[in-house]
Chains A and B, each alone.
Chain A
Amino acid sequence: MISLKDGTSTSEKTFLLGVLKEHRRIDGRSFNDARNVDISFGKDFGCCVASLGNTRVMCQVTCQVKAPKATRPNEGFLFINVDFPLMSSILLLDNDQLLQTRTELVRLLERCYKEARVVDMESLCIVGEEKVWELRVDISIMCDDGGMIDCASIAALSALCHFRRPDVTLEGEEVTIHSIKSRDPIKLSIHHMPILVSFSFYENGKFVLMDPDQREQKGSEGLMVVGANPFRELCTLHRTGSVPLIKDQVRRCAEMVALRARSLVGYIKKELEKDGALRSKREHAGFAAHLPRSLMVKPPVEVIDVERETRDIPMRDIVQRVSAKRTGNEVENMSIEVGKWDVPKGTKDESDFDESSASSDVEMVQQVTAEEKKTVEEISIMSDSEEDEVVALGAADLGFQRQKPKPKEKIGKPADSQALQELSKDKPSLKQVDGHAATFLKTLGNVDKELGKQINYLTQVSTGQPHEGSSYAAQKVLQMALHRLEHARSRVNESERIRASHMQQLINAGFISRPQSQQMQQATQPGTPAVQPQTPQQQPQM
C-alpha cells in the first residue's frame, strides 16, 4: 500500500469524489466489486503469478534446511520477503517511501500467513533441535495498479498451496533428502487459506470502495486491509490514512471479506486442480502458455453508422433513378431489383446541400446488374471515409461518355447542386439558377413518368386482372368440387354394381339372353371390385 503522502492533483481528487457521489466508479464497477483475479502456475512447484485487474504479482516459494530456533526446536521457519522492482510503480522512487511500503506489506503478509499459522510449522521438522525446513516466500511486485496487498496475498497463498518440498527419510542418524526426480515431493500441510482485501474510504468514511485501483487509492482519505479465510475467521485488520473509522464500517468490511474469501479460495483450489491434472498428463507448460490468455486485449470498437443503415429505402430508389437518368442510357435498362443497386453511401442528399464543397466531383451510381452498356466507372474515391463512395470522373471519361450512341442528357453536375452552387456565389446569375432549377424539375417529372411505367409493367407481369385478394377461397371451392365428384363417382359405381348383379339374376332366371349379359358384364367389370363366381354368390342374394 502506498502511503497517502504521494501527490495527487486536486482535480483528480475532485473528479473522483464527483464520480463516487453518483454512486459509480471510474472503471464501472459497483462499490463492492473487486476486479477479476487470474492465477497461473509456473513449471516449478511453488511458482505463481497472480493478477488482479492490471496489478500483477509473482510469488516463488523455496525451501532449505536450517537449524531451528533454540526456543522452538521442533518448528520450521516461514520467511516472507517482498521485492519492488522499479518497473512496478513510478511512485516508489523515493527511498523512504519504498522502505515504508515494503515494511508495511511484509508485516501484513507475515501477520496473515505466519502469525495466523497457515502452514503447520511442526510438519517442517526433520530432526528435532537439529534440522528443520525453512520456507522462503519471495514476492515480487511486477505491476502496481492498486490492490498490491490483495494480489500479493493471492499469489502467496496459491504458491504455498502449490509448493512441494523434497521428501526426507531418516535411517537412524542419517538423513537423506531425496531429489524431486527420485521421489515425488510432498505438499505442505496448510491449515486454512486466508486472503487479504483492501478498502478505501472517502468523505470521512461516507463512501467505501472494495479493491481500489491506483487512481482510487491515490485520491482516498483512508485505507483499510482486512484478512479473512472461508471459515469466517479474521486474521488481519489494518488501517491507514487520515480518516478514522466507525465500528460498523469495520464490521461491514469484515463481512464482505469473509464472502470474498470463500469465492476466491474456491477459485484457487480449482486452478490448483487444473494444474495438477495438467501435470499428471505432463502437459503443464508454465507461464508461456498462459500469457496470451491473461493479456488485456480489447477488440477495436466498431463504429456503426446507424443513420446510414436506417435511411428510407424508397428515397434511395428515387435517388438511384435520378442518378441513373444522368448517365443517360439506362432509361430502358433500369433494373427492377432494387437490391442490386450499389448506392454510394454518401448519397446525393448530403452532397446536394453541401454548399461549401467546390469540388468537381460527379456522383454516379455504379451499376452492378449485368448490362452491356456500363456508363459509370469508378475512377477514384475522394473522401476519407470508407463508406463514402464518392466517384470522381476525370475529363477523359467525360469524353468517353460523350461518344456513347445515345446520350439523352448532357453529362455534368447534378442540376440541383449546380443551382445551389450558383446561389452560393457572391453574384448569383439568376438566369443560370432558373435554368438549373428547370432542368431539375424536368428530371423530377421524368422520374415520375418512369415510376409509373414500372408500376404498370409490374401489374401486367404479376396478375392479369386487378388483384382481389388471395386465391384461397377458389382453391377451397375446387377442393370441395373434387370431393363431390369423388363421392358422386363412388355412388355411380355402387349403383352400377347393383344393376349388374340384378342383371345377372335375371339372366340366370332366363329372362334375358346371354350375349346381352356378357356385354353388361364387360361394361360393369371396370366398376366391380373383383370377379366373382356368379352362381354360388347370387343364390344368397336372392
Chain B
Amino acid sequence: MARTEAFFDTGLRADGRDPSQLRKISCKVGAFKQADGSAYIEQGKTKILATVYGPQEIRGGKSKVLHDRALINCQFSMAVFCTSERRNRPRGDRKTMELNSMLQQTYEAAIRVELFPRSQIDIFVEVLQADGGVASAAINAATLALIDAGVPMKDYVCACSAAMVDDFPFLDLSHLEEIVVGSMVTFACLPRSKQIVLSEMSGRLHLDYLDKVMDAALKGCEDVFHIMDSIVRSQVAHMAAAMG
C-alpha cells in the first residue's frame, strides 16, 4: 500500500488529522469500585480498561518477596473480540507477554517501589478494542488507575507513538497507519522531567530522523499529560465536592 493513502496531498491524514495531532482522548478515573484503582480510556477507537490492586501482601509464595522494594506484577490481555479478526487467546501469546514486560519495565522506573518493601502491586490491563496505539493507550490507562489507587509515583507516565513519513513526524498512529508506515516508535516519559521510561521501536528508522521523532513523541506525551492532568483534577474536585 502506498504511503499516500495515509497522507493526502492536502496535508491531512486519512481520518482528517494533522500529522502532529493526537486522537480524541476521553477517560474516566475510578470506573470500578471494587478495585483499589481503575481507569477507562478511549484514544480514538482504541478502548482500554485498567485496574490496580495494591500495595498489598505478596500472593503466590514467599519466594518472590523482595526485601527492599515492592514487586510489580502486570497482566496484559486483549479480549478475543478486540481486533477485526477474532483472536485465539486473550493472553499468553507472544505479543501479550511482550506488552506485559513493557508495562513492567515502565512502572519499575516510575513507581516509588522502595516505599513498600515486601509487598506487591498488581496492574491489570484489558483491551476492549484495538485500533492502533495499544501500547501507549495501555500505559496511559494504567497511569490513571495508579493515580486512582493512590500509589506514589515519580510523575505521571504518558505514552505516545510516532513515526516518520516523508520527513514529517506523525503522532498517534491508527491501526491502518501502523501497517502502512515502515517503522513506528513508542515512547513513554515522565512529562515534567522529560525522562524516558519506555522506548520501543519496530521497523527501520534512519538515525538522522531519530531526533525529530523523539522530539515529536515527547511533545505528544506532554499533550497527553495535559489532558490527563486536567481530567484527573476535575474528577478529584468532583469527588471532593460530593464528599463534602
Which residues of A does B touch, CB under 8 Å? Answer: 4-5, 99-100, 103-104, 106-107, 110-111, 115-117, 192, 222, 224, 228-229, 231-247, 250-251, 254-255, 258
CB < 8 Å neighbour of B105 from A110, A115, A229, A239:
A239
Q: Is the CB of A233 within 8 A of B205?
A: yes
B68 → A minimal CB distance (Å): 10
A153 → B minimal CB distance (Å): 15
Q: Is the CB of A232 within 8 A of B207?
A: yes
Residues of A contacting B97 in the complex (Cβ-Cβ under 8 angstroms): 99-100, 103, 107
Among the listed stretches B1-9, B29-37, B195-203, which one makes contact with chain A, having 4 or more residues with CB under 8 Å of it?
B195-203
Residues of B contacting A111 in the complex (Cβ-Cβ under 8 angstroms): 201-202
CB < 8 Å neighbour of A255 from B190, B197, B201, B207:
B207
B3 → A minimal CB distance (Å): 16
Residues of A contacting B109 in the complex (Cβ-Cβ under 8 angstroms): 222, 241-244
Q: Is the CB of B210 within 8 A of A251?
A: yes
- B206 interface hit (Cβ, 8 Å): yes
Q: Is the CB of A245 within 8 A of B195?
A: yes
Residues of A contacting B206 in the complex (Cβ-Cβ under 8 angstroms): 231-234
A487 → B minimal CB distance (Å): 87
Q: Is the CB of A235 within 8 A of B194?
A: no
Q: Count of A-B contacts with CB under 8 A?
A: 106
Shortest beta-carbon contacts, A-B, top 3: A244-B195, A237-B201, A232-B207
Residues of B contacting A115 in the complex (Cβ-Cβ under 8 angstroms): 202-203
What CA separation (Å) do A491 and B18 show in the bound complex?
116
Q: Is the CB of A116 within 8 A of B204?
A: yes
Q: Is the CB of B105 within 8 A of A244?
A: no
What CA separation (Å) do A49 and B201 show in the bound complex?
28
Residues of A contacting B122 in the complex (Cβ-Cβ under 8 angstroms): none
Q: Is the CB of B207 within 8 A of A233?
A: yes
Residues of A contacting B183 in the complex (Cβ-Cβ under 8 angstroms): 116, 235
B72 → A minimal CB distance (Å): 10
Residues of B contacting A233 in the complex (Cβ-Cβ under 8 angstroms): 204-207
Name the residue in A110, A240, A254, A255 with the highest tally of chain B Cβ atoms < 10 Å from its Cβ: A240
CB < 8 Å neighbour of A237 from B101, B185, B189, B193:
B185
What CA separation (Å) do A104 and B199 show in the bound complex?
14
B interface, over-half SS? mixed
Given A5-B66, A228-B207, A236-B201, 9 more A-B residue pairs with CB atoms under 8 Å apart are A104-B101, A116-B204, A233-B206, A235-B202, A237-B200, A244-B190, A245-B196, A251-B211, A254-B207
CB-based nearest A residue for B66:
A5
A409 → B minimal CB distance (Å): 77
A interface, over-half SS? mixed
CB < 8 Å neighbour of B199 from A116, A117, A235, A237:
A237
A450 → B minimal CB distance (Å): 78
**Chain B 173-215: CB-based contact to A (< 8 A → 1; otherwise 0):** 0000000000101000110011111111111111110110011
What CA separation (Å) do A99 and B205 show in the bound complex?
30
Q: Is the CB of A116 within 8 A of B207?
A: no
Residues of B contacting A116 in the complex (Cβ-Cβ under 8 angstroms): 183, 202-204
Residues of B contacting A232 in the complex (Cβ-Cβ under 8 angstroms): 206-208
Residues of A contacting B185 in the complex (Cβ-Cβ under 8 angstroms): 237
CB-based nearest B residue for A229:
B204
Residues of B contacting A106 in the complex (Cβ-Cβ under 8 angstroms): 94
B97 → A minimal CB distance (Å): 4
CB < 8 Å neighbour of B198 from A239, A246, A254:
A239
What CA separation (Å) do A250 and B190 show in the bound complex?
15
Q: Is the CB of B101 within 8 A of A103?
A: yes
- Residue contacts A-B, CB under 8 angstroms, 17 given: A107-B94, A107-B97, A107-B98, A229-B204, A233-B206, A234-B204, A235-B201, A235-B205, A237-B200, A240-B108, A241-B105, A244-B196, A245-B199, A247-B215, A250-B199, A251-B210, A254-B207
